[in-house]
Structure 1
Amino acid sequence: MVFITLFSTCNNNVDDNIGHVLNLAGKNRAELEKVLKHYASNVEDSLKYQAAKFLILNMEGKYSESYNAPWEDVATVNLRWSSSSDKSKVIETFNIGELIRKDDIHHITADYLISNIELAFQVWRDKPWGKHISFETFCEEILPYRIGTEPLENWREKVLASFADLNNSLREDSTITAVKACSKVNDILPRFRMDKDFSNMNYSQLMATTRGMCDSQAALAAFVMRGLGIPVTIDFTPQWKIHPTGHTWNSVSDSIGQHISFMGGETNPHNKHQGNTLQKAKAYRKTFQNQRIVEADKKDIPFLFQDNIIDISSEHDNMTNVVLPIKRYSEIQTEYVFLTMFYDFEWRMTGCTKLDSDSIRFQHIGKDILYLPVYYINESQIPASDPFYIDSNGKINILPSNSPDSLMAFSAITPENDTNWNWRMVKGVFETGDDPNFSNVKIIHTISTSPKLYNKISLKQSHLCRFIRYRAPIGNCNVSEIAFYDDSGKELKGVHIGSPGSYNNLGDSGDKAFDGNISTFYDAVDTENSWTGLDFGEYKRISTIHYSPRLLGVGIYNDNEYELFRWTVDGWKSIEKKKATGQTIEFNTPHNSLLYLNNNTLNKRGK
């Protein structure tokens, strides 16, 4: 009766939503009501009752994903899935079966929720830093029973069992802070092998597998630290400026409620990691609470903003605010304008703002990045204004699509430096020998300065040899192209010899230095004594050496075809195609507009 009184008293406000969730639960309603009744019957449990309401109120949309595998070790499924190049064969051979979704609201039990709440309160209250952690922070950063869409398990019990000694030492150290505790735990977390294609794994699977991307690392850190009473979040950026994906990391709440970032299993709070050093457009934090940055029909919400996240870009450096004119009004009424950033000929979703009557205002967006404001209607992006670039000083450069033409010369297809690896050839040598082991070696040229794109070395006197090689300096072995010529200018051909393999088995082996393709390169396994060369089959006389260092592939190369595009209100438009005859190429193109130069020969794109 006490439960009924308390429950009905609150129904006019927040508990109206509780009633909505209970109705959605259907046959599982009794399990959720059992949790509420358990804590409503005891006044001393009022805070736990609020915690139970928080979990149940935000349970809608939470679910587990798993495969109907004939074995219990789901981590094995993930390993087999990841290591196979043909996913369909994995399903056929190992009978992984269909992906199963179980909504928490229909399957979670009262015992599971009560156990989660009890253990969460236990570690919150028995830690020295717990008194500095607010109930609001506790609810978001310690209490949640799940991280993502992983299969549910009693992970809190497992964490306390696996880390029992550490848990005891943390509890007994009266001076330790949440941040210091975070570092202690992070130091002993398993190091991950980078992998891909994993579905969300629970604590046991992550500990058994220790493979996955950054989001798996961050998930394991969150499981362990929350299980020990350390308030930890999962943060992310949806898209890097120069990489095809985004990145995920963690943050820990300190005694005054500030978040300090770290990388689970790698770097501790206050230390540098990709999440707090690399330039990003926006940063977000995942939340358990059901809250959306964008409230609209699902077809008008980009995938990024369909999750429960909050914008934490203001916590990061090198951010600025932007006000832009609206150049194009949406034909369909909408409240939002979205921010996209340029990557690989695409505008990738990264931010949003509510629409003003006459302007677009984006807050806390990253510098040194190219952006385009868009509407998102019926799952399509429609430009709302001109592209703009924010330089490293925060200056906004709007790139109109109706600029007058002018003659422009290009020396590369991107602003990136094509010479990042040139220095790796300094102190490298070209050597000749009479046998493939180069037991009687003779140095015919030493690279003493950072090489150019194309290098031609005319030897003071020609050298007679059967075997010749390029031997890299200690520390690096990178070279794109090598060719040898005789006195008449004829290229000398031979059979490749040299150090086997390539770095990370990526296929960049020594023979790539002799394939005539400047876009390929040799990247050695061994950084101490690596080399690549030729066996001519008989003695040949060498007069000239041609070579090129490893390249990014973004320069202008002889005989490569380039195509220039410009951005218009209707998207990208091709201006002209032409072949390069040197290390620069000229086009007649609109001045101060957004251009995109493509190397059609190498299928390389730039901006």
Structure 2
Amino acid sequence: MKYRNHIWPLMCMAALCILAACTKTPLEQALIQAGKNRKELEKVLEYYQNDSLKLRAAQFLIENMPYHYSYQGEELKKYFQYFERFSVSAWRGPTFVRDSIIQKDGKFNFKALDAVYDITSVKADYLIHNIDFSFKVWREQPWGKYVTFENFLEYILPYRIGNEELMEWREEIYKRYNPMLDSIRNTPYGSDIRAVTQILMDSLSNAPIFFTGIFPDGPNVGPNLVRWRAGNCRELTDLVIYVFRALGLPGGCDKMLVRGDKNVPHYWNFILDENDSTYFTSIGQNSKNLEKAETYWDPKGKVYRETFSLNRNIQQDLKFDMLNVPKNFRKPLMRDVTAIYANKINHQLRISADSLTVKPQDGETVYLCMSSQMHWLPVAYGRFEHDTIRINNVEGSVIFKLAVCRNQKPLFISLPFLLEKYSGNIRFFRPSGRKHSITLLQKFKEDFQAHMVGGIFEASNHPNFREKDTIHIITERPPRLINTARLPKSKPYRYVRYYGPPTRHCNISELAFYQSASDTSALQGILISPPGAVAGNIVNQFQNVFDGDPYTSMDYREPSGGWVGLDFGHPVQIQKVTFSPRNRDNFIRKGDLYELFYAQTNGWESLGKQTATSDSLSYNAPEGALLYLRNHSRGNDERIFEMVDGKQRLW
């Protein structure tokens, strides 16, 4: 069964499931929907009729098949090229890979793919091999005795992760990675799920990974990721899941439908220990030590765990009114694990009717929404009862907005509000009739700003800096594209450098030294860098620091010990330094056209457009408002913010 329209078939398929579920079991309904493929699925059930556990496993897979599908079509070949080519041409960069594919074959067209449902296409031999091999691994591994049957069904048995094209993968990945665990399997720690997972993650992280977020949106890539090791957090999380399942480790994917401080979803891996406690990890990032879920640092709002089984509790809660259920909850293959991550700061959100701009109907479903650029996406739901909205299990330090769904469209019923992380207090962003003058320096948080905190500027009259003076220390995140430090008068120096803080790889975009605080022409000199590191190296790129372009930068190869500077040829006075952090072009750019908005219940109100004449913008904005700055000239990264003590606080 193939469809070219991806959304309505999913809705119709799910609606049929619900209507039939009133009288038939999920397994019976699945077999009905299988149509001509029913005989293949019945072969599996008959094959395991004398093995009760494997029969239950087969039933589990089949009864949830109506909610799973693959994408197929010629466009997949083009899509896979992004990841395969990047894995062997990473030195060229992801932009080169993307642009070269587009130039040769055109842009990837997701809509040209066909959705093929598992229930009508998966064959008996495929399922039987998957079930048998899953049980083999579960029973043979020393830690298998600590994996419950329920966790086995959900996190080891499933033959697919998302909507990837189906293929055989278990045995090949097992043969490749199972020997990595031989060193621990026969030790006293051989049955310790955490210890085994740690060994595996360390091994997985030894080989390079190729991270990028610029490739086009598409379906799950599939088990070839284990070879390619390329993509964003979604793909790298999938990579680890394939290995976990092939080796019988009870883990999977936890996710935010929208990350609390970004505009996109976010994914990472979890593992369940013998006590069913959750630990998180990510290949190449947090793999050195498995951490307890409650220590996960990103602002979350809501966290869900991906499952193979349909969450029939959510289905029942929403009564599956298909026309008025947002996409994320129409086919909920997930369960809420926010309470596990939030732990003691888990909040039960309660908002009274007098805080709303529109009063819902009694008993109406209310959706909790989070910001994605200028949109608000549903991430949770609750009820309006007795003049109060009730939404359970919410972590704070995130800005939300409330909506109901009517006539297949969201109707927003509140202004944006902040849920305080520790107190649980709620603060609405209510624009005041009073306006104040504000200065804007950026449109999106630049992570590299933090990489300069603790960096120092040093001066010396010795080429090896054996005797040196510290002339300036960066004590806070550089707030703008071009930052200035005025220095007290001191003795002349021939050599100067910026020395990056420990563990930050010495990131810097632009650097200039001036003889006088009033000078506009920078001192000239010969570039100097750490011994053994050649200027122009493709990794370090020292020359970018003095090329006059604040959108090129250096990133030192090693986490510590990085620096870059100038030899003036003779001692000179230095009374001013200007510097730009490494950045992704999210500071205010001179010459670009910007527009500032503030949030109201029903949308965003413009405060006007401006062309930047420097690295800052000035506006008059309502006090107390939530704001959003759009760049009409370039770029996609923009984020909601408020003004606090005259500075932007990006959320």
Task: Compute the TM-score of the two structures, normalised by the length of structure 2.
Answer: 0.71
Q: Which runs of 5+ in 2 are unaligned?
A: 1-19, 87-93, 530-534, 643-651
The answer to whether the 8 A contact 1:456-1:546 is kept is yes
Structure 1 residue aligned with 2:152: 138
CA distance in 1, matches of 2:468, 2:174: 65
CA distance in 2, matches of 1:132, 1:580: 61
The answer to whether the 8 A contact 2:130-2:157 is kept is yes
The answer to whether the 8 A contact 1:237-1:247 is kept is yes
Which residue among 35, 51, 58 is the counterpart of 2:64? 58
Q: Do structure 1's residue 301 and structure 2's residue 325 form an aligned pair?
A: yes
Comparing 325-334 with 294-303, which one deviates more in the overlay? 325-334
Which digits, 9 at most, give the CA deviation of each residue in 1:17-66, with x for residues without a partner?
A: 333222222221111111111222x2xx1222121111110011322235
Structure 1 residue aligned with 2:246: 227
The answer to whether the 8 A contact 2:433-2:622 is kept is yes
Structure 1 residue aligned with 2:231: 212
3-state DSSP of counterpart to 1:239: coil
CA distance in 2, matches of 1:529, 1:406: 45
Which digits, 9 at most, give the CA deviation of each residue in 1:307-328, with x for residues without a partner?
A: 4111100001343222112424
Q: 1:597 to 1:579 in 2, by over 3 A?
A: same
Structure 2 residue aligned with 1:397: 426
Which residue among 541, 554, 573 is the counterpart of 1:523? 554
Which digits, 9 at most, give the CA deviation of each residue in 1:226-251, with x for residues without a partner?
A: 22222222111223233343322222
Which residue among 79, 82, 91 is the counterpart of 2:84? 79
The answer to whether the 8 A contact 2:516-2:575 is kept is yes
Which residue among 29, 33, 38 is the counterpart of 2:47? 38
Q: What is the Cα deviation at residue 393 of structure 1?
A: 2.7
3-state DSSP of counterpart to 1:58: helix
CA distance in 2, matches of 1:93, 1:600: 23
The amino acid across from 2:306 in the alignment is K
Q: Do structure 1's residue 182 and structure 2's residue 197 form an aligned pair?
A: yes
Which residue among 27, 30, 39 is the counterpart of 1:21? 30
The answer to whether the 8 A contact 2:395-2:421 is kept is no
> How many pairs were matched up?
576
Which residue among 260, 269, 281 is the counterpart of 1:241? 260
Which residue among 221, 231, 236 is the counterpart of 1:201? 221
Q: 1:380 to 1:459 in 2, by over 3 A?
A: farther
3-state DSSP of counterpart to 1:448: strand
Q: 1:598 to 1:180 in 2, by over 3 A?
A: same
Q: Do structure 1's residue 388 and structure 2's residue 411 form an aligned pair?
A: no
CA distance in 2, matches of 1:361, 1:94: 42
The amino acid across from 1:180 in the alignment is A
Q: 1:484 to 1:103 in 2, by over 3 A?
A: same
Structure 1 residue aligned with 2:456: 426
The amino acid across from 2:301 in the alignment is A
Q: What is the Cα deviation at residue 421 of structure 1?
A: 5.3
3-state DSSP of counterpart to 1:280: coil
CA distance in 2, matches of 1:601, 1:38: 62
How does 1:530-545 map onto structure 2 within 5 Å?
A: 530-531=563-564, 545=576
3-state DSSP of counterpart to 1:215: helix
CA distance in 2, matches of 1:139, 1:285: 14
Q: 1:206 to 1:420 in 2, by over 3 A?
A: closer
Q: 1:591 to 1:39 in 2, by over 3 A?
A: same
Structure 2 residue aligned with 1:322: 349
Q: 1:323 to 1:473 in 2, by over 3 A?
A: same
How does 1:227-376 map onto structure 2 within 5 Å?
A: 227-264=246-283, 267=287, 270-271=290-291, 276-291=296-311, 293=314, 295=318, 296-298=320-322, 300-305=324-329, 306-317=331-342, 318-326=345-353, 327-329=356-358, 335-342=364-371, 344-376=373-405
CA distance in 1, matches of 2:119, 2:298: 39
Which digits, 9 at most, give the CA deviation of each residue in 1:101-157, with x for residues without a partner?
A: 432222211111112222222222334443443322221122111112223233222
CA distance in 2, matches of 1:94, 1:184: 38
CA distance in 1, matches of 2:485, 2:633: 22
Identical columns (%): 24
Q: What is the Cα deviation at residue 281 of structure 1?
A: 1.3
CA distance in 2, matches of 1:249, 1:22: 34
The answer to whether the 8 A contact 1:67-1:97 is kept is no
Q: 1:95 to 1:579 in 2, by over 3 A?
A: closer
Q: 1:155 to 1:602 in 2, by over 3 A?
A: closer
CA distance in 1, matches of 2:491, 2:184: 73
Q: 1:300 to 1:80 in 2, by over 3 A?
A: farther
Structure of higher CA gyration radius: 1
CA distance in 2, matches of 1:143, 1:474: 48
Task: Compute the TM-score of the two structures, normalised by the length of structure 1.
Answer: 0.76
3-state DSSP of counterpart to 1:447: strand
Q: 1:121 to 1:568 in 2, by over 3 A?
A: same
Q: 1:76 to 1:335 in 2, by over 3 A?
A: same
3-state DSSP of counterpart to 1:316: helix
CA distance in 1, matches of 2:33, 2:375: 40
Comparing 116-125 with 557-566, which one deviates more in the overlay? 557-566
Q: 1:170 to 1:545 in 2, by over 3 A?
A: closer
User: What is the RMSD of the two structures over their aligned residues, measured on CA atoms?
Assistant: 5.1
3-state DSSP of counterpart to 2:99: coil
Q: 1:523 to 1:157 in 2, by over 3 A?
A: closer
Q: Which runs of 5+ in 1 are unaligned?
A: 1-10, 432-437
CA distance in 1, matches of 2:633, 2:116: 49
Q: What is the Cα deviation at residue 285 of structure 1?
A: 0.5
The answer to whether the 8 A contact 2:245-2:251 is kept is yes
CA distance in 2, matches of 1:75, 1:411: 41
The answer to whether the 8 A contact 2:64-2:309 is kept is yes
Structure 2 residue aligned with 1:471: 497
The answer to whether the 8 A contact 2:362-2:387 is kept is no
CA distance in 2, matches of 1:342, 1:495: 47
